[in-house]
Structure 1
Amino acid sequence: MIRAPLIALLLATLLAGCADGPSGHHGGPPPQDPADYHGVPTDNRPPMMVPAPVAP
């Protein structure tokens, strides 16, 4: 007997999490560089591997 209210509560909490919007984007301005930024790369992803050019 407690299963039905428990399932209803679970579904209500799951749907409440989706109430903000489907995009997941919270808006606002894009991130800005700090004032002391002097061109130091902050991207910590590894560089893309580009194949070497083929010699003619």
Structure 2
Amino acid sequence: MKKIFEAEGNFIRYEEHRVKLENGDELVHRSEEPTELWWKLKEAVKGRKVRIVVYDTGE
């Protein structure tokens, strides 16, 4: 096996917003947005058979 990509960072930007409704209920809006790192990985592995291993950096 040959290494074709190595990087560190967040692949997906995740946000959560809580909204209080008029009747007192609470609604949670969630959004996920791919980062530039995600797109670089996608381009690096496009069309290849790969094994992807992910480590938590503990941050």
Where on the TM-score scale, by shorter chain, does this alignment land: which range? under 0.3
**Higher strand fraction (1 or 2):** 2
**Higher helix fraction (1 or 2):** 1
Larger radius of gyration: 1
Structure with larger RCO (C-alpha < 8 A, sep 6+): 2
